[in-house]
A and B are shown apart, each in its own frame.
Chain A
Amino acid sequence: MEQRPFSDISYEQFLNEEKLMGSKCKACDALFVPPKPICTKCYSSDMDWVEMKGKGKLGAFTCIAIGPPSMIAQGYNRKNPYVSGVVELEEGARVDARIDEVDGNNPESIKVGMPMTVKFLHQEGEQGPRTTLAFRPA
């Protein structure tokens, strides 16, 4: 059984290991992705780690032409926008993610409701490796 604390730090460590993990309440089955240390439905603190299958559909998205310095450094700009979105997982939870392998210059080609599958974008950050959660069209 996985013993890591139900925290954002653990969530990110799992992403580095290419696992999309959430916490599930043992008492009422409520699911939290990213994980919560207590169940905010029934207030039990008896939680379990669960791994998501990484399948879902696109719930919302945006093609960002003017990004923060960190994205500009990766080569994104007005001519080369990147896409961020919200994916509704098969398990019922929703996650924020980069949306990869779509054309940010052609937003009409990206559809809310599209089936998506998980992808992990690994980068070398200032404090070591960092993984951004992403999804691509299935």
Chain B
Amino acid sequence: MAKRRKLGRGVAIVGAGMSKFGMFPDKDTKDVFAEAFKEMLASVDKGVDPKEIEALYLGNFSNDFFVHQSHWGPIVSDLIGHTPKPATRTEGACASSALALREGVFAIASGFYDMVLVGGLEEMSKRTTEEVAEGLALATVPYEGKVGFTFPGVFGAVATAYFAKYGANRENLMDITIKSHNNAPLNPKAQFKLSIRDLMNAKAKSLEKKGIPVPEWKDEKDFLRDPKANPVVAWPMHLYDCCPISDGASCMLLVGEDIAKSFTDDPIYVAGIGQGSGRGLHACDDMTYFEATRYAAEEAYGMSGLKPKDIQFSEVHDCFSIAELIHIEDLGFFKPGQGYKAVEEGATRLDGPMPINTSGGLKCKGHPVGATGVSQLYEVWTQLKGKAGERQVPKKDLRIGGAHNLGGTGGTCTFTILERR
């Protein structure tokens, strides 16, 4: 059981920015971080002098591997004119920048700083797919890699355990993919902006052009069932169950809640933060949930005094479709074994009672791993500010949203609850 913890001082977010996510052959990490930083500065309603930023916390999984350059704290510090003030890198695999946010929150809550910048970055597209797979696999549990498990492989195995326990199947995961792809065209920063239906029509057109007979796909699921259109990666994970390889950056400006109103009349507050650690598949209590997510959720709910039913929408770490399904249960939005039924009924769609991954999720928005955690919070912040445009959650009085980030094969998980008061 997580102990009920409180911050010594409240923390608010007064600005946020993220770069476009995608594969950018003509840009490097600094270019994309600058994009996020400029947007963050412009987003502070009453303006901010960046010289007031007292410390930088930056999440990065492994640019060491991806672009052969480590030690990104001072590089970014120099880029944004922050030197000689402190810059600290955090690493928690794909949850690296959620850890940066947490460190930033603690730094302000302790009273040591009044204003910090937190963010994340990753540049993955300069490597081949096989190299990226090898790089990401550095974050699996050692025993998993030794018997040939890849990342999609671990989540594929988790899916078979879930299917066997609860009677779900691949069709249920397709509902998640289709839903995420429906949200993505509404997000101008997303890497993939086509719905599955549009992809299907585009594929048919391209086959026709080449004079190849076009299969008669009845609907989106029929398209996803076709092994030529949607080949297996690590069964039951297929191409459209997996997030892409991406470049990107994200950042947020945190201040003490007592001074937040000098920057905006509408600050977004950190209501709860939680973090957990997990064991590998061989050692966890049950392969159909993530113990680190459950612990992180308990901590965040305990701190905020909120319950799962109070969360009005959430970003959820969907590196693979099965991850989204299991986490919406672990976060308490749906009962264990019931998540797939709720998804089937449309509960997690943008216009459903519990919208999940309005951004398009990692699946479509992209997953530059170190940037992901703060980019999820960027989406929640944007929604709470009512600035999400076409993908705005259509709920009256939108006040509370969540962001769940996972690193490795469940080794590091966080849950953060933001609140508009």
Contacts and interface: CB of A to CB of B under 8 A. Distances in A.
A81 B233 CA distance: 9
Contacts of B281: 60, 86, 94, 96
B167 to A, nearest CB: 12
A133 B160 CA distance: 20
Contact of B282 (A69, A86, A98): A86
Contact of A62 (B130, B134, B141, B153): B153
A62 B149 contact: yes
Interface of B: 129-130, 133-134, 137, 141-150, 152-154, 156-158, 160-161, 163-164, 231-237, 280-283, 287
A96 B133 CA distance: 19
Contact of A34 (B137, B143, B154): B143
Contacts of A82: 148
A66 B287 CA distance: 23
A60 B160 contact: yes
Contacts of B156: 62-64
Given A68-B134, A96-B282, A62 B143 contact: no
Interface string A85-101: 11000000111111000
A82 B282 CA distance: 19
Interface of A: 8, 33-34, 59-69, 71-72, 78, 81-82, 84-86, 93-98, 104, 107, 112-113, 132-134
A68 B147 contact: no
Given A94-B282, A113-B164, A65 B287 contact: no
A86 B154 CA distance: 10
A112 B234 contact: no
A86 B148 contact: no
Given A59-B161, A60-B164, 5 more contacts: A8-B142, A33-B282, A62-B152, A68-B134, A96-B282
Q: Which among B133, B137, B141, B143 has the highest number of chain A CB atoms within 10 Å?
A: B143
B236 A98 contact: no
Q: Which among A34, A65, A133 has the highest number of chain B CB atoms within 10 Å?
A: A65
A62 B137 contact: no
Nearest to A65: B232
Contact of B157 (A81, A84, A93, A95): A84
Contact of B164 (A8, A67, A112): A112
A72 B235 CA distance: 17
10 contacts: A8-B142, A59-B161, A60-B287, A68-B133, A68-B145, A69-B130, A84-B148, A86-B157, A96-B143, A96-B146
A62 B157 contact: yes
Nearest to B158: A60
A64 B134 contact: no
B161 A66 contact: no
A71 B149 CA distance: 10
A127 to B, nearest CB: 14
B58 to A, nearest CB: 29
B152 A107 contact: no
Nearest to A112: B164
B232 A61 contact: no
A68 B145 CA distance: 9
Contacts of A8: 142
